[in-house]
Chain A
Amino acid sequence: MSETSPEPQDASERDVTSERDAAPDARTMVGVPPEPPTGTFTPLQTPVDPAGRRALLEVDNVTLRFGGVVALDQVNFNLYEGEILGLIGPNGAGKTTCFNAMTGVYTPTSGEIRFQGQKLSGRTRHKITKLGIARTFQNIRLFPEMTAMENVMVGADTHHKTSVPSALLRLPRYWQEERSARERSHELLDFVGIRRHDEAARNLSYGEQRRLEIARALATSPTLLCLDEPAAGFNPAEKDSLLQLIRDIRDTGVTVLLIEHDMRLVMGVTDRIVVLEFGKKIAEGSPAEVRDNPKVIAAYLGVPADAA
């Protein structure tokens, strides 16, 4: 534990990183313009996928260590606008850590994450949310004593400006923003299928609580929605309706990143899948490709003794 410190990178480690950089994903090469003219504004150099969609989120060689533990080891993948990307892997593979790095809970030890071409490192968590990344939590983290409405309104407040002076004196901005937050929250609660808007969050059923988390995240008007095991503990019928909900969310123009263990759900809803194991990316591709990838099968089922 003690010999490896979390932050500083010595020269040798950096060399390894640059070697990896020498052989980048072919996809990231597309659309990178030559040297931009000096003295002018630099255009966003976001990679483009074969279908011509721009990368919304780029995870670029991200390594994250906690003491001697390497939670993420040079992970690379892009997330393109309008897609549903699945992030899967056995327990402890680093999926949630990856989420946490994206939403600013952890800062990568090396490498960087860009959202719409902008670096995320150094931004506070609420600013990252304001940029357009919203998330749910693996273990539900609602505000238990607030009503469903209020929970969603907290999310809707992300883009509001009412602060103490205008709230104290109930200036026009207060009325306007309060009304819009209220309307939007009612809409979103209906959208995810919660009827009891004024019930305290802790009194909602388990399924409703999971859906409320999604509504609260959607209220922040995200471009990218990260769902951390939204189907955990669901029965098949609930999973089916969740599947539909995720598709509906995508159809409103929100890009979705999904961590999920349920293979039927992942295979059924995602456009592409990234597979992590022990902090490393072991596969990336369409659901069919990933399903047939021997490395993935080995990671999930283990390698037969004679093959090893």
Chain B
Amino acid sequence: MTDLRTRWRDFRHGMSQRWDRQPKATKIGLILVFVVFLYALPEKGFYEYLGLPLGEYIPLYTTRNDMATVLFQCGYYILLALGLNIVVGYAGLLDLGFFGFFAVGAYTVATLTSPTSKIFTEYNWLDSPWPWLVALPLAIALSLLAGVILGWPVLRLRGDYLAIVTLGFAEMIRIVAQQNDWIFNGDRGISQIAHPPGSSGGKPIFAFDAKPYYWLVLTVIIAMVFLIRNLVRSRVGRAWVAIREDEDAAELMGVPTYKFKLWAFAMGAGIGGFSGALWAGQANFVNSSTFRLEQSILVLAAVLLGGAGNIFGAILGGFLVIYVPEWLRSVGDVFGLPEQVRIAGEPYDVSATNLRYLFFGIILIVIMIFRPQGLWPNRRRAAELKDREKEAMVGV
């Protein structure tokens, strides 16, 4: 086992060195090829072009579920993970209710763009539903504001309080949405939410096919990667890391810790709201049942699984937490596993589809045992984790 791990480490080290040695043009070229590959992922024609007809089972293709839908789901989860990664990974603040901001974004878009929203049908506050694109900035702004309002009192505290309050926040949003008949329409939800704009050949681009949404969210993710990198490699990013490593020392070295924690929180919340707005544009319908606590935990799991403090770790994590369970649905087909077994004449359902969360859980546990720092961690954060482990073993 250890031998395997050293060999894997050497392999990775060699690969990263080889990558560093490439000229810039080659790097950019390879990245572009990879991006094109990402855009082509849900295209059936792409697999046929590769000589892999979809009739056969392609190991990575989800056969029991529309691949584009799965990828879109991955996309908005990646966006969520990117947002939460700023809060948890960079600034080191534990946020257990991140999905609350997703809900704020989704509900903002829903109430403003749906013709069935009570704003138009009962209260007549506005003349006509807004287009999706106009509601989007407001959705981002409102979730950002929600982040500021929540962070304002809470970020003065340290440690566990933040986790508890954020947990409560997400539940609060969900329960208000569920019980409030005033504009959220309770559990009946809001339907006929507007899609993003654009048409080709007289037909709207964004309708019920998930592919264009996937392309949209992928574009947003790529833009986000650049923006977040800009932040991280600036005074702001340095301040976040300093706060995470030693908050007292940071403050005594002139870092306005509270301000930057609030910024981290607000940025994360804004990205979460963006993700919610994108999702609402595709889903066409929202009600409170989407915003369960498990979702917040799943986003946190994505960040920790991928590797906190690293943009690409968060992307990997966000992708895996959605993709793996969906792929596990079809794993039975790939390996020809039985759907049922009979024990003493009684049929037991053992299909991979139904047991997928069991397998997913096992995978998560195994990863966390062998790579507690995440799959693709930030070098620095991994070292901090190790130091803390040592402290825990030596000290106390």
A residues neighboring B (CB under 8 Å): 103-105, 124-126, 129-130, 134-135, 137, 141-146, 150, 153-155, 157-160, 162-164, 167-170, 174, 177-178, 181, 200, 202, 216-217, 220
Nearest to A219 among chain B residues (CB) is: B253
A-B contact count (CB 8 A): 107
Whether B253 pairs with A164 at a CB distance below 8 angstroms is no
Return the chain A residue nearest B259 by Cβ.
A163
Partner among A145, A174, A181, A220 whose Cβ is within 8 Å of the Cβ of B383? A145
Q: Which residue of B lies closest to A170 (CB)?
A: B230
Shortest C-beta distance, B144 to chain A (Å), equals 11
Residues of B within 8 A of A (CB): 227, 230-231, 234-239, 241-242, 245-246, 248-259, 263, 267, 380-381, 383-384, 387
Partner among A126, A134, A150, A174 whose Cβ is within 8 Å of the Cβ of B238:
A150
Give CA–CA (A200, B384) in the complex, Å.
12
Q: In the complex, what distance in Å separates the CA atom of A202 from the CA atom of B251?
A: 20
Give the docked Cα–Cα distance between A142 and B238 (Å): 13
**Bound form: Cα–Cα A220–B249 in Å:** 13
The answer on a CB contact under 8 Å between A154 and B236 is no
Query: A146 near B245 (CB under 8 angstroms)?
Result: yes
Are B251 and A146 within 8 A (Cβ)? no
Tell whether, in the assembled complex, residue B230 and residue A154 are in contact, meaning their CB atoms are under 8 Å apart: no
A157 touches B263 (CB 8 A): no
Q: Roughly how many angstroms separate A200 CA and B14 CA in the complex, as a whole number?
A: 22
A167, B235: Cβ atoms closer than 8 Å = yes
Given A125-B252, A154-B254, A168-B231, 18 more pairs with CB closer than 8 A = A125-B251, A126-B252, A126-B254, A130-B254, A144-B387, A145-B245, A145-B381, A150-B238, A154-B253, A157-B239, A157-B254, A163-B259, A163-B263, A164-B263, A167-B231, A169-B230, A178-B234, A200-B380
> Does A157 contact B380, Cβ atoms closer than 8 Å?
no
CA distance A168 to B267 in the complex (A): 11
Residues of B within 8 A of A164 (CB): 231, 236, 263, 267
Q: Which of A104, A143, A181 contacts B249 (CB 8 A)?
A: A143
CB neighbours (8 Å) of B259 from chain A are 163
CB of B253 within 8 A of CB of A129, answer yes
The answer to whether A143 touches B250, judged by C-beta atoms less than 8 angstroms apart, is yes
User: Is A146 a contact partner of B248 (Cβ separation < 8 A)?
Assistant: no
Q: Is the CB of B235 within 8 A of A181?
A: yes
Q: For residue B254, which residue of chain A has the nearest CB?
A: A158
- Some 29 contacts from A to B, beta carbons below 8 A apart, are A105-B252, A124-B258, A126-B254, A126-B255, A141-B248, A142-B246, A142-B249, A143-B245, A143-B246, A143-B249, A144-B387, A145-B383, A146-B242, A146-B380, A154-B253, A154-B255, A155-B253, A155-B254, A157-B235, A157-B238, A159-B254, A164-B236, A164-B263, A164-B267, A167-B235, A167-B237, A170-B230, A181-B235, A217-B253
